[in-house]
Amino acid sequence: MKEMETNEFKCQQCHQIIKLDESMRFLNEHDIAELTLPIQNPVELDIAEHADSFDKCVLQIANSDLQHGFTVVGDFGPREKASLSHHMKLTSELFDLMSSTSDVDHPLCQECCDGLLQLLESQLRLSETEYKDYKEYLKELENQPEQEDLSALQEELEKLELEESRLLSELGNLEARSTDLQTQLSKDQIVKKELLEEEKRLWKESAEQERQKMLAEDELRSLDVQLKQEQILLEKLKQTNALNAAFHIWHDGHFGVINGLHLGRLPSVPVEWSEINGAWGQAALLLEALVRRFGLKLTRYRIVPMGSHSYMEDIVEKKELPLYSSGGLKFFWDSKFDGGMVAFLDCLQHFQEHVEKIALNYRFQLPYRIDRGKLEDRPAKQWYSIKMQLNSEENWTKALKYMLTNLKWCLAWIASQPTSTFS
């Protein structure tokens, strides 16, 4: 219990400041001592036990000047002259006395006191109900006969003992079975744990196999795509003639052109000799490839393709016949260049005759007939020599154009024939 600086008290339930009644100011030690006496018959009161309380109690005397018939024993004077702290001390002692005689701490405000009264009334009603029930039960017990049929009770007791023995035996069996089941459960738990670990491992392996399967399927799809692309490329390559793709022969006016190089020259179009020599090198390489393609073995000449310095080798006379020239005055008196071009044309004619022999079922004929270094324009029935000496540049250029046309004809014919034709 707390005392405020303003000499006021707080409710012990809601902690609100409460205002004490005026009568609380006139309490003295005699009143407190009287209140501490037990409520019982004065005859049975033990004077020695409550001696301390009687020390502060004075009986009433016939003096009208004394208020309430009490006086205060101690160092203090009359009640109205007591100090304020002394009244607060007595009030606190009163509240402590009230708190010690009940389960509720005092002081209480009006609202908390009303609530406490309601609670006590509720507990009182509950106690009265219980008292009524106990009273009825006691009445029932008092009305029962005093003597029971001992034989019936003895028989019932024996039955209960037998039932108890049976139940105890059954309980023992159940406990033994429970022990066995617990043992089996422990074993099953171990097996379960092993199976869970095995299941986890199998799921992991399954996931890994699924991943490998997906990777394999992706690789298979990739390989299928590559295979289809390769098959498409293979079909294109089957339909593509390598020689025809490597050697592009066309014409540019009066000139025959192989891989962009003009073969021949005119007074109005003086083609450089380096370009002419390069064109002869491409033509020699093409004819050498055709000869090897058909397995033809040349007996008089051998083709030696060396770019701008290609030549024909005379196997019988053991000499070289160039397919290149530098021009100039010496060129008109040098017959080796003419011999090389004639030898090249002879090899082309020999190749034509070889193809006609091995491909009897396939009609093969060059557009310009070859005979001893000349080419015939069949519609005009005119021959053009491939030599430079004693020949005009126009006729020489036309003869070279016809020669390249025959080579292109060979390429086109080979591309149009099945592969098995030449195997």
**pLDDT at residue 167, as a whole number:** 94
What ranges make up the beta strands (E) of 231-381? 249-252, 255-258, 261-263, 301-304, 311-314, 319-322, 369-371, 374-377
CB 355 within 8 A of CB 287: no
Q: Distance between CA 420 and CA 404 in Å, rounded?
A: 26
305: which residues sit within 8 A by CB, 6+ positions away? 281, 284, 285, 288
DSSP string for 66-77 = SGGG----SS--
Q: What is the dihedral of CA 164, 169, 171, 175, to 10 degrees?
A: 160
**pLDDT at residue 379, as a whole number:** 83
Run of H or E including 339: helix 336-358
**pLDDT at residue 36, as a whole number:** 65
Q: Distance between CA 265 and CA 201 in Å, rounded?
A: 85
Q: In whole angstroms, how far apart are CA 143 and each of 139, 153, 299, 393?
A: 6, 20, 154, 163
| Residue 397 CB coordination number (10 Å) | 24
- CA distance between the termini of the chain: 128
319: which residues sit within 8 A by CB, 6+ positions away? 313
**pLDDT by 10s per residue, the chain, length 423:** 434 434 567 787 787 887 776 666 666 666 666 666 655 444 444 545 544 443 433 333 333 333 333 333 344 444 444 455 666 776 777 777 777 767 777 787 878 888 888 888 998 999 999 999 898 888 877 776 555 567 887 888 899 999 999 999 999 999 999 999 999 999 999 999 999 999 999 999 999 999 999 999 999 999 999 999 999 988 877 777 777 778 888 988 889 999 999 998 888 888 899 999 999 999 999 999 988 888 888 888 999 999 999 999 999 888 999 998 887 654 454 688 889 999 999 999 998 888 888 766 666 778 888 888 888 888 888 899 998 888 888 999 999 999 999 999 888 887 777 655 555
* Local structure of residue 18 (DSSP, 8 states): E
Does the bond joining 107 to the residue before it have cis omega, within 30 degrees of 0? yes
Token couple for 277: 């020599």
Run of H or E including 9: strand 9-10
**pLDDT at residue 225, as a whole number:** 94
- The phi, psi pair for 404, rounded to 5°, reads -65, -35
Q: Closest Cα partner for 345 from 375, 318, 367, 317?
A: 375
CB 305 within 8 A of CB 318: no
